[in-house]
Amino acid sequence: MQTARIKLSSKDSQELDTICAEIREIAKKFGIDYRGPIPLPTKRMRITTLKTPSGDGTGHGNATWDKFEMRIHKRVLDVQADDRVLRQIMRVNIPQSVKIEIRLLG
């Protein structure tokens, strides 16, 4: 039987965990095999900028910096590709901030 690989990514890890729990409950309810959620490495995007537009800093010779960081969390689930199960998974309410990708594996 085919397997559906579901990749989820978001800035909020709690949203990912709730969606993964819903997908697991659907798989348990229909009695099919599933694996996951498998957490993938978190991608960190960092930006460091000077606080002052002139570049002088605080006036004491020390430049002051702002540091910003955005983290992208990812999860992977493998579920047996059953029509009824995939329809139920497509009905799960997914927030705008979560990106989902479903791919059928041979």
Task: Please state, in angstroms and rounded to a whole number, the distance separating the CA atoms of residues 28 and 34.
Answer: 8
What is the domain class of 3-41+72-105 according to CATH? alpha beta
* Rg over CA atoms, the chain: 21
Burial class (CB in 10 A: 0-12, 13-18, 19+), 8: buried
Paired strand residues for 48: 67
pLDDT of residue 64: 79
- Cβ contacts of residue 94 below 8 Å, gap of 6+? 19, 100
pTM of whole model > 0.85? no
Q: Where do the structural domains in the chain lie, given as residue ranges?
A: 3-41+72-105
pLDDT, tens digit (0-9, with 9 covering 90-100), for 63-75: 778 899 999 999 9
